[in-house]
Structure 1
């Protein structure tokens, strides 16, 4: 039996904090997205008001319709930004850069 198969059959305790259990817990959480509409946001709706029907080849079909449009509204929080987001950010700032100084002295390789 390989080591991998032993690991895959291993049961994790309830309070396990390994990467597999942490990922499973994080994926179970609902996604809080900027695109999820709130109670203030409202989608645009279109309603047919008057429809003209006609008999076409033995089947009643709509041949002309008038529609009413209710304009949508997007709150300030969910409005898209005017500028694209910044993709570049500092991950780790180690301070001032150290200049490269080449070694001019000869050296011998020790074995």
Structure 2
């Protein structure tokens, strides 16, 4: 019988197709952004306009700031839909759910 230590921690071949090597190759690829904005779309940005500084415990810290917000814009093509996709529907609505009550003692039907 061949000992198990002989097979453990062995290097894989460069063209190995096992799931571990495939996963490592996929994770090494740069992630593509799932939501690419067009030239019309722009994110919301916040700029600090005025900052009031004061010495707190011997260290200068910001105690009050005024900000300017530049509102973002999303074009109609990238705007999410107002209603869910068509596959969202109720197949059968049986009403309010019935709570599960465990039976602690066995019982017999009378009759």
Shorter-chain TM range is 0.3 to 0.5
TM-score, normalised to structure 2's length? 0.46
Task: Report which of the two has the higher share of helix.
Answer: 1
TM-score, normalised to structure 1's length? 0.46
